A and B are shown apart, each in its own frame.
Chain A
C-alpha cells in the first residue's frame, strides 16, 4: 500500500474508532477536550508509524493503548503542577499496564454511553449539544457540520470550544444518570439524535449531500445507543422511527427536488429492508413490557403507513388510537389535529369535524393556521364547499409562510370552483 493509501486507511480507522477512544480517555482525564486532543495525538503517531510498520491487527486497541499511555504520562507529569490532575492521578496510580491493555468491551460501551449523556447534557444549549455530539460521537468535521446546517465553520468551531468549556466549568460528571434523572436525561439524548435526523430528513437548506449524511449519522448513532442501552424501550422506539422514515428517503423527493406527498409516493420503492429493521426495533421496544413512550408511539404510527401496500390499506383506526395514546403522554395542538385527521379518515369526516369544532374552542389554538386548514379539509370532504373555501382563506391569512399561503389559497379556489360547478 502506498503511503497515501495507508493514510486514507488510517483516517478511516480513526473515524471508526474515535468515539470509543474519546469515551475511554474522558473517563481517565475527566476532560472531554483533553480526551479529544489525546485521541488526536494517537492518530498522529499512527500516521507516523503505520506506513512503515504496517497496520496492526487490532488497530482500535493499538490506538486506545497509545492514547492512554500518553494520558498517563501527561497526568503524572502534571500532577505536581495542577491540583485537578493531582486528584485524577491519585486514581491513575492504581492503573497498571494490564489495565490499559484490557479491552473489556463492556467497559468501552459504558464509556460510550457516558459520553453520549455528556455531549447531550442539558447545561449546554441545544445547538451546542448537536454540534458536540456530531463532532465527538459521529466524527463529523466542523466543515461537514457547518455545511449541514448552513452556518459558518467558525461558528461551529466556537460552539464546540465553548461547549467543552461549559462542561468543564459546570463540572459535569462523566456518568450515566440513574434513578428518576435517567428518563429525563435520556429524553434529551433522544431529542438531540432525532433533531439531527429531522434536519437531514426535512431540511431544505444545506447542500444536497449533507441531508443523507445527517440522516445516516443520526440513525447510526441511534442504533449504537439502542445496542448499548438495550433496556431502554424509547431508544428502540427512536431507532424504529428513523429506520422507517429512512425507508422513504429515496421516494419523497422527485427528480426536480420537490417533495412528494406520502399518499402519492411510489410504495414499491420504499426500502423494505429498512422497514423490516424498523418493525423489528419496534418489537424490541414492545417486548420490554412498558407502555409505549412518545418515540415508540410515533414509530408505531409511521409503521402503519409502512405496512399499507396502498394508501387505501392504511389502518386509520389504529393510527387514531395511537394518537390518542400520544395525546395522553405528550399533549399538544399538533397531536390533537393529527388525531382529528386520523379519526376523520377512520370513521368519516363528520366525526373528525366534531373533534375539530371542540378544538376550535381551545384558547391555545387560536391563531394556529393548521386548525382552520384541517377544518377546511374536512368540510371539503363533507361537500360543504363554500364553508371549506372560507376556512382555507382564513388559514392562509393566519400564516406568514408564503408557500403555505399560496397552497391554501389554491385549495380555497379549488373548493370555490367545485362549488360553482354543482
Chain B
C-alpha cells in the first residue's frame, strides 16, 4: 500500500525560516530509517508557495487563470511530501507519527493519504513474446 505523507505548511515554512540544525539532523535520520526499512519511495521539501504558481479553471470559463503565490496557508497548503510503501495502514500511521517536527514553530500537522493501487499483473513473458510474434505476422 502506498501512502503520501504531507507536511502542512505553516507561517514559518512560508517565511522560509531556517528550522535549525537539530531538526534537520532528525529529518535526515528519519529518512535513513525509512530507507533502511525499505519503505521509502520519495521524500521532498517544497519551496515556499511564493515560488509557486496556481492554474485555476473557473467554472464556465475557457482559458485558466494563472496566479503566482504566495497562497493562503488555510487552503490546504503543503510544505513537504514523503511517499512510502508499507503493508498496513497502521504501519503508515506509525511512520507518520515518527516524522520529526520543528520545535518552537507553533502548530503544524501531517496528512496521510492512500494512493490508488496500480494493478500489477504478473507478466508471462512467453505469452508476451508469442503475442509479439502474432502481431509481427499481422504487420501490426
A/B contact in complex, CB under 8 angstroms: yes
Q: Does B115 contact A (CB under 8 A)?
A: no
Q: Does A247 contact B (CB under 8 A)?
A: no
- List B residues at the A interface (Cβ < 8 Å): 35-42, 85, 120, 122-140
> In angstroms, how far is the closest chain A Cβ from the Cβ of B58?
32
Count of CB-CB pairs between chains A and B under 8 Å: 84
Q: A202-B129, A408-B140 in contact; A154/B135 too (CB < 8 A)? A: no
**What residues of A have a CB within 8 angstroms of the CB of B36 in the complex?**
161
**Known contacts A161-B35, A334-B131, A370-B135; 9 further A-B pairs (Cβ under 8 A):** A154-B42, A198-B129, A262-B136, A295-B126, A338-B130, A373-B138, A404-B140, A407-B139, A407-B140
- The 8 Å CB contact of B136, one of A198, A261, A377, is A261
Nearest B residue to A159 via CB reads B38
- The 8 Å CB contact of B123, one of A152, A155, A195, is A195
- List A residues at the B interface (Cβ < 8 Å): 125-127, 152, 154-155, 157-158, 161-162, 165, 191, 194-195, 197-198, 201-202, 259, 261-263, 294-295, 298, 330, 332, 334-335, 337-338, 341, 370, 373-374, 377, 403-404, 407-408, 411
Q: List 19 A-B contacts (CB under 8 A).
A: A152-B42, A155-B41, A158-B38, A158-B85, A161-B35, A165-B37, A165-B38, A191-B126, A198-B129, A201-B129, A261-B136, A262-B136, A295-B126, A298-B130, A330-B126, A338-B134, A374-B134, A377-B137, A407-B139
Please, how many angstroms separate the alpha-carbon atoms of A126 and B135 in the complex?
A: 25
**What residues of B have a CB within 8 angstroms of the CB of A337 in the complex?**
134
**What residues of A have a CB within 8 angstroms of the CB of B138 in the complex?**
370, 373-374, 377
Please, how many angstroms separate the alpha-carbon atoms of A154 and B83 in the complex?
A: 12
Chain A binding surface, main DSSP class: helix
> In angstroms, how far is the closest chain B Cβ from the Cβ of A239?
14
Q: By the criterion CB–CB under 8 Å, are A334 and B127 in contact?
A: yes
Q: A158-B38, A161-B38, A370-B135 in contact; A194/B126 too (CB < 8 A)? A: yes
Please, how many angstroms separate the alpha-carbon atoms of A335 and B127 in the complex?
A: 8
**What residues of A have a CB within 8 angstroms of the CB of B133 in the complex?**
262, 338
Please, how many angstroms separate the alpha-carbon atoms of A334 and B85 in the complex?
A: 35
> In angstroms, how far is the closest chain B Cβ from the Cβ of A222?
12
Please, how many angstroms separate the alpha-carbon atoms of A337 and B130 in the complex?
A: 10
Please, how many angstroms separate the alpha-carbon atoms of A57 and B40 in the complex?
A: 43
- Report which residue of B37, B38, B135, B136 has the largest number of chain A beta carbons within 10 angstroms of its beta carbon: B38
> In angstroms, how far is the closest chain A Cβ from the Cβ of B47?
21
Please, how many angstroms separate the alpha-carbon atoms of A334 and B134 in the complex?
A: 8
Q: A194-B126, A197-B125, A202-B128 in contact; A158/B40 too (CB < 8 A)? A: yes
Q: By the criterion CB–CB under 8 Å, are B128 and A198 in contact?
A: yes
Q: By the criterion CB–CB under 8 Å, are B126 and A298 in contact?
A: yes
Q: By the criterion CB–CB under 8 Å, are B130 and A154 in contact?
A: no
Q: By the criterion CB–CB under 8 Å, are B38 and A162 in contact?
A: yes
Q: By the criterion CB–CB under 8 Å, are A125 and B120 in contact?
A: yes
Q: A127-B120, A338-B134, A370-B135 in contact; A198/B38 too (CB < 8 A)? A: no
Please, how many angstroms separate the alpha-carbon atoms of A197 and B128 in the complex?
A: 12
**What residues of A have a CB within 8 angstroms of the CB of B132 in the complex?**
202
> In angstroms, how far is the closest chain B Cβ from the Cβ of A178?
25
Please, how many angstroms separate the alpha-carbon atoms of A407 and B129 in the complex?
A: 20
> In angstroms, how far is the closest chain A Cβ from the Cβ of B123?
6
Nearest B residue to A401 via CB reads B140
**What residues of A have a CB within 8 angstroms of the CB of B136 in the complex?**
259, 261-262
**What residues of A have a CB within 8 angstroms of the CB of B39 in the complex?**
158, 162
**What residues of B have a CB within 8 angstroms of the CB of A162 in the complex?**
38-39, 85
Q: By the criterion CB–CB under 8 Å, are A332 and B123 in contact?
A: no
Q: By the criterion CB–CB under 8 Å, are A370 and B35 in contact?
A: no
**What residues of A have a CB within 8 angstroms of the CB of B140 in the complex?**
373, 403-404, 407-408
> In angstroms, how far is the closest chain A Cβ from the Cβ of B4?
15
Please, how many angstroms separate the alpha-carbon atoms of A284 and B70 in the complex?
A: 71
Please, how many angstroms separate the alpha-carbon atoms of A262 and B120 in the complex?
A: 31
Please, how many angstroms separate the alpha-carbon atoms of A55 and B41 in the complex?
A: 40
Please, how many angstroms separate the alpha-carbon atoms of A16 and B76 in the complex?
A: 53
Please, how many angstroms separate the alpha-carbon atoms of A335 and B134 in the complex?
A: 9
> In angstroms, how far is the closest chain B Cβ from the Cβ of A77?
22
Nearest B residue to A408 via CB reads B140
Q: By the criterion CB–CB under 8 Å, are B124 and A191 in contact?
A: yes
> In angstroms, how far is the closest chain A Cβ from the Cβ of B83?
10
> In angstroms, how far is the closest chain B Cβ from the Cβ of A176?
23
> In angstroms, how far is the closest chain B Cβ from the Cβ of A282?
16
Nearest A residue to B130 via CB reads A334
Nearest A residue to B85 via CB reads A158
**What residues of B have a CB within 8 angstroms of the CB of A334 in the complex?**
127, 130-131, 134
Q: By the criterion CB–CB under 8 Å, are B137 and A126 in contact?
A: no
**What residues of B have a CB within 8 angstroms of the CB of A126 in the complex?**
120, 122-123
The 8 A-B pairs of least Cβ separation, nearest first, read A162-B38, A161-B38, A194-B125, A195-B125, A198-B125, A126-B122, A334-B130, A407-B140
